[in-house]
C-alpha cells in the first residue's frame, strides 16, 4: 500500500502555508476553502470567537487588520484616551478628511506616535489568542493629503523647517512624499517590534506581514506606501502582493490607444512586487481576487479578468505561495449580475468549480524545473519609491481635485485627470518590449544598493529619471559596476522634469541626476549611440518616456533601442506574440493582445481553466487569450487536478482511496490518471454515477458535492 502524498496536491503539511485567504465573516461551511491558513480579518468583539472557530476547522490562523484605516472610531471620538483625534485623519487641501471607500467615519490616518501606540494596545490582546501571524495591511498615505495639523507638526519635526503646502511646489510635494513614507515605515516598525518582543516574553513566536499593493499600482493611483522599506524593517517577515482585477484593469496607453490591459498590467504589478522579498528569506504571497471590489460587474467579467491576473502571476515562477481569495463570503454567498440580465444571481456552479480547481492547483506550483518558451534577453524597467513622490505636475490642482482620488471603484475612463492616472512615463517604457513578447520585469531601483544580486536576472535595464529620482548616489555606483561587468543600460530622458530642480544630493553640482549617472559610468551623456563601458554598454536616449505611448511607430522606436543593446550583449531577439513558461507539469501562457495573431498549443494536456477539466490536444489561442494546462506526458502522477483538497491518499493494486475536502454547496470535479477503467467507484459508501473515463489518455473524471469534512472516495479496479 502507498500512503505517500501525491505531489503537493495531497500534502497535509500546512507549515509551508502555500495557500490562504482572508475573511471577516464568521466560519461557514460554504466559505471553507480548505487552504493551509486563514487570515481572520478585523478587530472587534467577535475576533476571539472567529479565530477559535477557524482553528477548530483545521486551519493555521493569522489575523489581518488595516494599519492606515479601520474601525478605529474609539480612537477618533476620544473613547480610547479622552481626546478627540480627528486631527490625525489624512486631510485634503480643502480641509476635508480622506475617507476609505464609501464610508463616512473611516478616514485614512496619519500614523502619529499616538495612533501607533493605539494600534499596539489594540493588537496586544491578539497575541494571547495564539495566532501565528499578524498582517498589517495597506499602509497608505494619499498623495493629495498633507494638510492636517498632525502632518504639519510631523513636517517641522522631520525637516526642521515650517510646513509647506504639499502642492505649492514640486519640491514641497516630493518632500511631503518622503515624510509620508517615513511616517508609515516608523509606525510599522514600532508596532511590529513591540508586539514581537511582547510575544517572545510570553514564549510565543508571532510573524508579521504587510499585505500591500504593488509599487506600480500605488504610484498609478497616487498613494504613498513604504514599499522598498519593507525589506529593511527587522520585524517584518514578508508581504502579500495585493494585485487583482481592481488594480490591474486601471487603463493605460499603448500605441496611442487608451484601454484596460488587465493581463499586461497584472504581469508588471506581480513583477515589481517580487522585489519586496526577492533575495531574502522573507515570504511572499501573490493575491488573486475572483470578484474584486466593484460590485456591479457580471459573473462573466469577474471570471475572465480573474483568469487574466491568475495567469499573469503564474508567469513569475519565483513565487509559489498565494492568497487564493479575499472575502470568500462575497464570492460564494452574494449575488451578482449575469451577462444580458439585470437580475443578480448566486455564483454559477461551473464558475465555483473553476475557481476551486485553480485554488487547489496553486498548492503545486513550487516546481524545481522551469522552462521558458524562449530564452531571449531579460529586460528590467527600473522603478523607484520616489515615483510615488512625483504624482503631481506643477500648475495642476491635485490637492483640491477629487479626480486625484482613484481607488478602482470609479469609471476611470470618465475620470477627470485620467491622463495623470495613466502613468504613461512608466508604461511608455514597459509596454513596448512586453507587447513585443519579451520577458519584461520591473526592478526596484533602491535594491541595487544593498542587494548585490539585484540585477542578476536582468540583461538590459531601462532607466529614466523623468518620473522618479535616485535617493542616493550609491545607486549609480552600483549600476556602474553592473554595467562594467557586462550589463546593458538604456537611459531615457530629456531632462524636462521639474523635479530635477528640487533640493537633493545632486543639485548645485549637476544639472540633473542623470549627469551624475553618466559620470559614475564614465560615459558621455550627450553622445548618441551605444557606448562601451567595461564589458557592458550604455545608451542615452534623449526622449520623454511618455512619448513612446503615442503611436505604434514610437513604441517600435523604443523596442529597436532595447533590441540593439540586447544584441550587442550577445542575446538573440525574437519578436513574438506568445509569453509562456512551463513550471514542472504546468504550462502557462498568453497571446499578447497588442501583438495580434494566434498561437497553437499541441500536446496532451488537462485544461485547468475548464471546470470540466477537459483534454486539450490542439488549441489555437487568439489575441488576448490565455491558458493554464497540465502536461499529461510530464510525469506519472495519479492525481491530476481537483476542485477539492485531496487528503489521506492510499493506493495499492486493488484501487485508490482518498478524502476530498471542499466548501459545502459546490460541485467538485476531480481528474485522476488510472491504469484501467474502474470496476466500482463509491463516495461515502454510495455509488458514484457522475463520472467519465477516457481509455485513450487513461484519465478518470468524477464529480460529487463538496463538504469541508471530506468525501471519502474509493476506486476499485
pLDDT tens-digit readout, 411-436: 665 665 778 899 999 999 999 999 99
Rounded distance between C-alpha atoms, residue 458 and residue 443, angstroms: 9
Give which of 316, 232, 304, 235 is closest to 272, Cα–Cα: 316
pLDDT computed for residue 418 by the predictor: 79
Give which of 179, 147, 174, 177 is closest to 160, Cα–Cα: 179
Share of the chain above pLDDT 70, in %: 96
Q: How many CB atoms lie within 10 A of CB 619?
A: 16
The whole-number average pLDDT for the span 3-28 is 80
**Confidence band of 396 (pLDDT split at 50, 70, 90):** low
Please calculate the CA angle 551-557-561 and round it to the nearest 5 degrees: 150
SS3 content of the chain, % helix, strand, coil (to 5): 30, 25, 45
pTM for this predicted structure: 0.97
| Residue ranges per structural domain of the chain | 67-205, 378-568, 578-631, 639-716
Topology given in CATH for the domain delimited by 378-568: Rossmann fold (3.40.50)
Strands (E), 542-598: 578-583, 586-591
Q: How many CB atoms lie within 10 A of CB 645?
A: 26
2 three-class SS: strand
Give which of 704, 707, 703 is closest to 664, Cα–Cα: 707
Q: For residue 322, list its beta bridge partners.
A: 19, 286
Q: For residue 692, list its beta bridge partners.
A: 701
The whole-number average pLDDT for the span 490-515 is 96
Rounded distance between C-alpha atoms, residue 555 and residue 712, angstroms: 57
pLDDT computed for residue 395 by the predictor: 67
Radius of gyration from C-alpha coordinates of the chain: 26
Q: How far, in Å, are 104, 108, 294, 414 from residue 99 at the CA level?
A: 7, 6, 17, 21
Residue ranges of alpha helices (H) inside 398-488 are 418-421, 424-435, 447-450, 474-484
pLDDT computed for residue 415 by the predictor: 65
Which residues are within 8 A (CB) of 676 and not within 5 positions of it... i.e. 6 or more apart?
717
Architecture of domain 639-716: Sandwich (2.60)
Strands (E), 127-282: 133-137, 141-142, 207-212, 223-224, 238-241, 252-254, 257-259
Rounded distance between C-alpha atoms, residue 657 and residue 508, angstroms: 75
Report whether 91 contacts 80 (CB < 8 A). no
User: What is the residue whose three cell numbers read 519578436?
Assistant: 575
Beta-strand relationship, 586-591 and 626-631? antiparallel
Rounded distance between C-alpha atoms, residue 604 and residue 618, angstroms: 8
Rounded distance between C-alpha atoms, residue 151 and residue 157, angstroms: 10
Helix (H) or strand (E) holding 235: none
Q: List the single range of 8-12, 231-235, 598-602 with lowest mean pLDDT.
A: 8-12
* pLDDT higher than threshold 70 for residue 522: yes
pLDDT in tens, 90-131: 999 999 999 998 778 899 999 999 999 999 999 999 999 999
* pLDDT higher than threshold 80 for residue 405: no
pLDDT computed for residue 101 by the predictor: 80
Helix (H) or strand (E) holding 14: none
Q: How many CB atoms lie within 10 A of CB 103?
A: 10
Rounded distance between C-alpha atoms, residue 693 and residue 700, angstroms: 4
Rounded distance between C-alpha atoms, residue 131 and residue 149, angstroms: 36
Rounded distance between C-alpha atoms, residue 173 and residue 165, angstroms: 8
Report whether 384 contacts 139 (CB < 8 A). no
The whole-number average pLDDT for the span 659-686 is 96
Size of the chain in residues: 717
Report whether 72 contacts 118 (CB < 8 A). yes
**Confidence band of 378 (pLDDT split at 50, 70, 90):** very high
Rounded distance between C-alpha atoms, residue 403 and residue 153, angstroms: 27
* pLDDT higher than threshold 90 for residue 275: yes
Amino acid at each position: 500500500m502507498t500512503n505517500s502524498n501525491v505531489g503537493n496536491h495531497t500534502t497535509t503539511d500546512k507549515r509551508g502555508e502555500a495557500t490562504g485567504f482572508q475573511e471577516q465573516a464568521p466560519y461557514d461551511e460554504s466559505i471553507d476553502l480548505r487552504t493551509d491558513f486563514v487570515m481572520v480579518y478585523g478587530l472587534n468583539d467577535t475576533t476571539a470567537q472567529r479565530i477559535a472557530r477557524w482553528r477548530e476547522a483545521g486551519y493555521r490562523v493569522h489575523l489581518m487588520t488595516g494599519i492606515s484605516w479601520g474601525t478605529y472610531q474609539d480612537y477618533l471620538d476620544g473613547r480610547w484616551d479622552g481626546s478627540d483625534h480627528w486631527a490625525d485623519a489624512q486631510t485634503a487641501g480643502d480641509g476635508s478628511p480622506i475617507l476609505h471607500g464609501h464610508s463616512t467615519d473611516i478616514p485614512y490616518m496619519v500614523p502619529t506616535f499616538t495612533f501607533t501606540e493605539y494600534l499596539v494596545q489594540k493588537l496586544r490582546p491578539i497575541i494571547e489568542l495564539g495566532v501565528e501571524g499578524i498582517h498589517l495591511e495597506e499602509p497608505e498615505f494619499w498623495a493629495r493629503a498633507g494638510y492636517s495639523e498632525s502632518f504639519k507638526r510631523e513636517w517641522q519635526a522631520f525637516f526642521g523647517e515650517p510646513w509647506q503646502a504639499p502642492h505649492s511646489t514640486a519640491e514641497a510635494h516630493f518632500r511631503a512624499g518622503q515624510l509620508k513614507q517615513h511616517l508609515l515605515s516608523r509606525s510599522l516598525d514600532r508596532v511590529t517590534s513591540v508586539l514581537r518582543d511582547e510575544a517572545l516574553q510570553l514564549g510565543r513566536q508571532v510573524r508579521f506581514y504587510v499585505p500591500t499593493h504593488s509599487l506600480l499600482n500605488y504610484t498609478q493611483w497616487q498613494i504613498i506606501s513604504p514599499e522598498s522599506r519593507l525589506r529593511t524593517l527587522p520585524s517584518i517577515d514578508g508581504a502579500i502582493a495585493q494585485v487583482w482585477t481592481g488594480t490591474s484593469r486601471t487603463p493605460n496607453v499603448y500605441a496611442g490607444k487608451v484601454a484596460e490591459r488587465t493581463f499586461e498590467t497584472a504581469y508588471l504589478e506581480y513583477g515589481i512586487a517580487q522585489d519586496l522579498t526577492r533575495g531574502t528569506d522573507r515570504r511572499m504571497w501573490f493575491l488573486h481576487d475572483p470578484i474584486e471590489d466593484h460590485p456591479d460587474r457580471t459573473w462573466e467579467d469577474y471570471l475572465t479578468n480573474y483568469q487574466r491576473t491568475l495567469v499573469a502571476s503564474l508567469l513569475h515562477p519565483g513565487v509559489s505561495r498565494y492568497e487564493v481569495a479575499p472575502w470568500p463570503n462575497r464570492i460564494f454567498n452574494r449575488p451578482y449580475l449575469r451577462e444580458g440580465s439585470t437580475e443578480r444571481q448566486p455564483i454559477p456552479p461551473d464558475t465555483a468549480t473553476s475557481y476551486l480547481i485553480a485554488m487547489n492547483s496553486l498548492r503545486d506550483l513550487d516546481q524545481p524545473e522551469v522552462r521558458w518558451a524562449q530564452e531571449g534577453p531579460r529586460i528590467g524597467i527600473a522603478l523607484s519609491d520616489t515615483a510615488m513622490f512625483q504624482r503631481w505636475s506643477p500648475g495642476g490642482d491635485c490637492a483640491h481635485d477629487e479626480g486625484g482620488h482613484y481607488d478602482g471603484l470609479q469609471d476611470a475612463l470618465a475620470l477627470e485627470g485620467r491622463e495623470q492616472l495613466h502613468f504613461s512615463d512608466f508604461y511608455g517604457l514597459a509596454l513596448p518590449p512586453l507587447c513585443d513578447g519579451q520577458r519584461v520585469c520591473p526592478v526596484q531601483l533602491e535594491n541595487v544598493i544593498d542587494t548585490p544580486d539585484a540585477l542578476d536576472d536582468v540583461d538590459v535595464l531601462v532607466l529614466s529619471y523623468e518620473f522618479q529620482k535616485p535617493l542616493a548616489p550609491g545607486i549609480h555606483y552600483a549600476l556602474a559596476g553592473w554595467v562594467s561587468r557586462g550589463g546593458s543600460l538604456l537611459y531615457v530622458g530629456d531632462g524636462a522634469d521639474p523635479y530635477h530642480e528640487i533640493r537633493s544630493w545632486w543639485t548645485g553640482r549637476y544639472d540633473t541626476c542623470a549627469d551624475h549617472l553618466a559620470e559614475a559610468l564614465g560615459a558621455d551623456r550627450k553622445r548618441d549611440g551605444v557606448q562601451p563601458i567595461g564589458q557592458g554598454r550604455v545608451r542615452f536616449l534623449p526622449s520623454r518616456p511618455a512619448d513612446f505611448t503615442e503611436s505604434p511607430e514610437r513604441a517600435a522606436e523604443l523596442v529597436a533601442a532595447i533590441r540593439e543593446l540586447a544584441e550587442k550583449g550577445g542575446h538573440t531577439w525574437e519578436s513574438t506574440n506568445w509569453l509562456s513558461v512551463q513550471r514542472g507539469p504546468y504550462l502557462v501562457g498568453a497571446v499578447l493582445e497588442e501583438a495580434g495573431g494566434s498561437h497553437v498549443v499541441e500536446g496532451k494536456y488537462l485544461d485547468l481553466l475548464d471546470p470540466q477539466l477537459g483534454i486539450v490536444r490542439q488549441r489555437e489561442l487568439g489575441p488576448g487569450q490565455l491558458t493554464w494546462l497540465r502536461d499529461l506526458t510530464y510525469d506519472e502522477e495519479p492525481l491530476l487536478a481537483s476542485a477539492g483538497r485531496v487528503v489521506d491518499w492510499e493506493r495499492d493494486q486493488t484501487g485508490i482511496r482518498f478524502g476530498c475536502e471542499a466548501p459545502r454547496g459546490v460541485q467538485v470535479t476531480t481528474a485522476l490518471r488510472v491504469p484501467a477503467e474502474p470496476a466500482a467507484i463509491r463516495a461515502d459508501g454510495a455509488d458514484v454515477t457522475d463520472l467519465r473515463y477516457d481509455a485513450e489518455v487513461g484519465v478518470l473524471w468524477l464529480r460529487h458535492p463538496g463538504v469541508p469534512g471530506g468525501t471519502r472516495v474509493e476506486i476499485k479496479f
